[in-house]
Structure 1
Amino acid sequence: MTGERSPRASLALVVGLTVVLGVAMSLVHLPSAVLFASLIAGMAHALTSPTVIAVPKSLYRMAQGVIGVVIGAVVTLPALERISHELLPIGVVLVATLLLSILAGRLLALRSDVSVVTGVFSLIAGGASGVVAVARDLGADERVVTVVQYLRVLVVLLAMPLVTAVVFHPSHGHGRLASAGAGWLRDLAFVAVSLAVGLLLARLVRFPTASLLGPLAVAVVLALGGWLGDARVPTPIQWLAFGLIGVQVGLRFTRASLASIARMLPTVLALTVGMVAATAAVGAMLAWWTPVDGLTAYLATTPGGLFAVLSTASDAGSDVTYVLAVQLCRLLVILALTPLLARWLSARHG
């Protein structure tokens, strides 16, 4: 470990590394580039200097809230209507995916260095950024949860184009997933109102994931109401939120925790590949049970990478609304159930 840095030098190191690595990772199209970059930057400081720096709690709660607003902004009436017409098959998919996640997490927790809560939330399918943002509040080791969750997302994103091309042979270029918002002023108003009201609700409710779910709920109401048009969270604000969460987690890494995570990576990789295969089987069941085509069912059930999944669905000409309905329903249910699941697991396994 090198000598002690001043707080200003430490901050400069973390911010500089985040920017440089974020740009480099974005150029090679890595998922969640800013979060990964800030995570590495926080680790680089924590592992090389005893100087203690931390993200203020208020900023961290706001970062959690921004992630909730990002998720809430993609909720649409067509997706909700589709969910209402397909409740039984979507419900079966949700239950099957949740059970597969718990099983995989329990298998990971067979290791003596992983608690059951950490194991389950490390491998729970859906809402990686949301789960990472609230992992510590739920009693899980957010260092392990972050590494494992985004390894899962990376495996899913690497497997998805290969499976789509080799198994389903779709024609490409049918369309693109719109990402434009309603203009900067409306987008900023959307974020400000969602955060202000949502975080106020979070203070009143005092639910473990309320800092994420409060702004998410307000964002859903605003998105469905359409008062601000097709509002979205501006990309720089998303980057800032992911950066704050990544740095906060990275600063908590130690050499011992890194060694522990490195030792479990072969197990994690095997469990992740098994989960991808198992959810593909759930997709095949969905295609057999319902009128949707095989590619749509596969994309609807693949465990992670919501925006990449929607972009693939749009480009391949599959049913984007159905994919969004299933993915979004699973994401919202999992985020809502995480506090209850954490309490249940903690009560059963101490």
Structure 2
Amino acid sequence: MIALTTLLLALGGAGGLVAQALHLPMPFMLGSLAVAALAVGLFQHGQLRDYRFPMRFRTFFIGLIGVMIGTQVRPELISEAGDLVLTLSALAVFVALAHGGNFLIFRRLGGYSRATAYYAGTPGGLMESLVMGERAGADLPLLTAQQFLRIIIVITVIPTGMSLWFGHPVGSAAGFGPDARQPVTPEALALIALAAAAGLGLARVVRLPAGQITGPLLLSAALTLSGVVDLHLPFWLIAVAQVVVGVSLGLRFSGMNAAMLRRSVWLSVVSVSWMLTLGAGFATVLGWATGLPFLQLLISYAPGGVTEMSVIALSLAVNPAMVSLHHVVRILFTVGFMGLAEKRVNMEAG
């Protein structure tokens, strides 16, 4: 298991380097994702048949991402509190509209059952969607494929679109300031790791939503704002985090056959197009109302996973703390709405 995990991460890192040489956006995440997906396609019935990516390892790296985002929290974020009330409140409307549109896409275009269409269309809350969907009698393989494809397509389209917009690849080492290329002392690395472990422990005790990232983020932010620590973000650590996230996502293709992918991918493209268009509309209106940058709001409303969108914001230096906050709230709204509607969906499915 350890040897296979090491090999997959090494291949993922090599894929990231190739993607960087080809000037692709977010090269280490998308390159490693592509390599892992290719490995699944070639070896899922062989060497990878019973393989599962070690989730504790992934969780620790998500904690590291949380710590790195926490170091970006500045007192200026408090001055944006009035704007945040508006942008966070608008997420409730976004979630309702996105979910409603997705339900119609999967029900009318895909021909899915009501339960499958409902839970496949949630714009967040992946694990909760799978649990509630299975309880409602949804087609679990299809539901799983749609939820993971939502995340994968969003994290592919957003950096690619921004690269076309800016005219150069985003999320590579070239996009970071001089601090990201400075050496990091072993003491600083040890402090980052310790903060991640402590934040993960705090999240479990307090039961924070999206605790894998929010616990370390809050702890690191508190340390940063107190002036106790002043850590800068080395690019290589962000690149490694991208590889871990990319490989673990690429391996999610395991168990999906060609027919399922053909059916799921085009529906996901339609669904993601709807949500990104809707998010761009919200970003435009909210940008006009608050003066916040359009790009920052667009990433905040793009319906990828919390971890994946936080990595993108961190890699692009687009106020990652604010972006992470919006994605956590998006998931809270989604899960809350699912809970309110669960009994009705289960009755109609029955």
By how many angstroms is 1:229 displaced? 0.6
By how many angstroms is 1:151 displaced? 1.2
Retained in 2: the 8 A contact 1:55–1:248? yes
Retained in 2: the 8 A contact 1:42–1:247? no
2:150 corresponds to which of 120, 126, 148: 148
| SS in structure 2 at match of 1:55 | coil
Is 2:20 aligned against 1:22?
A: no
| SS in structure 2 at match of 1:86 | helix
Retained in 1: the 8 A contact 2:149–2:265? no
Corresponding letter in the other structure for 2:69 = I
Corresponding letter in the other structure for 1:204 = V
Q: 1:16 to 1:328 in 2, by over 3 A?
A: closer
| SS in structure 1 at match of 2:73 | coil
Distance 2:313 2:6 in 1: 36
| SS in structure 1 at match of 2:276 | helix
Q: 1:191 to 1:183 in 2, by over 3 A?
A: same
Any idea what the Cα deviations from partners look like across 1:181-232, whole Å, max 9, x if unmatched?
A: 7933454144223222122223434567333332222222223223211443
Matching residue of 1:300: 297
Retained in 2: the 8 A contact 1:62–1:195? yes
State the Cα RMSD in Å.
4.2
Corresponding letter in the other structure for 2:33 = F
| SS in structure 1 at match of 2:253 | coil
Is 2:217 aligned against 1:216?
A: yes
Any idea what the Cα deviations from partners look like across 1:18-61, whole Å, max 9, x if unmatched?
A: 23322212323232235514632552432444642223343233
Q: 1:346 to 1:183 in 2, by over 3 A?
A: farther
Retained in 1: the 8 A contact 2:132–2:342? no
Retained in 1: the 8 A contact 2:16–2:31? yes
Any idea what the Cα deviations from partners look like across 1:206-263, whole Å, max 9, x if unmatched?
A: 567333332222222223223211443x444444444444444544534545532332
Q: 1:266 to 1:198 in 2, by over 3 A?
A: same
Q: 1:183 to 1:235 in 2, by over 3 A?
A: same
What percent identity do the matched residue pairs reach?
A: 20
Matching residue of 2:160: 158
Structure 1 residues 302-341: aligned runs within 5 Å = 302=299, 303-304=301-302, 327-334=323-330, 340=336
Corresponding letter in the other structure for 1:78 = E
TM-score by length of 1: 0.69
Is 2:184 aligned against 1:183?
A: yes
Matching residue of 2:274: 274
Matching residue of 1:80: 78
Unaligned runs of 5+ in 2: 134-139, 168-174, 303-308
By how many angstroms is 1:136 displaced? 7.0
By how many angstroms is 1:78 displaced? 1.0
Corresponding letter in the other structure for 2:58 = Y
Q: 1:184 to 1:134 in 2, by over 3 A?
A: farther
By how many angstroms is 1:72 displaced? 2.8
By how many angstroms is 1:265 displaced? 2.0
Retained in 2: the 8 A contact 1:199–1:215? yes
Any idea what the Cα deviations from partners look like across 1:282-315, whole Å, max 9, x if unmatched?
A: 233234434x38xx33542354466767888x9x
Distance 1:133 1:179 in 2: 36
Matching residue of 2:100: 103
Distance 1:46 1:271 in 2: 28
Is 2:60 aligned against 1:66?
A: no
Matching residue of 1:264: 264
**Greater Cα offset, 338-347 or 148-157:** 338-347
Corresponding letter in the other structure for 1:349 = V
**Greater Cα offset, 193-202 or 41-50:** 41-50
Size of the alignment, in residue pairs? 314
Distance 2:62 2:206 in 1: 16
| SS in structure 1 at match of 2:51 | coil
Distance 1:177 1:100 in 2: 38
TM-score by length of 2: 0.69
Corresponding letter in the other structure for 2:286 = L
**Greater Cα offset, 24-33 or 235-244:** 235-244
Distance 2:321 2:6 in 1: 42
Any idea what the Cα deviations from partners look like across 1:65-115, whole Å, max 9, x if unmatched?
A: 233334333322212322x23245323443343334323443454242855
Distance 1:133 1:63 in 2: 19
Unaligned runs of 5+ in 1: 1-6, 125-130, 166-174, 315-319
2:121 corresponds to which of 116, 119, 122: 119
| SS in structure 2 at match of 1:74 | coil
Retained in 2: the 8 A contact 1:15–1:41? no
Corresponding letter in the other structure for 1:60 = R
1:94 corresponds to which of 79, 91, 96: 91
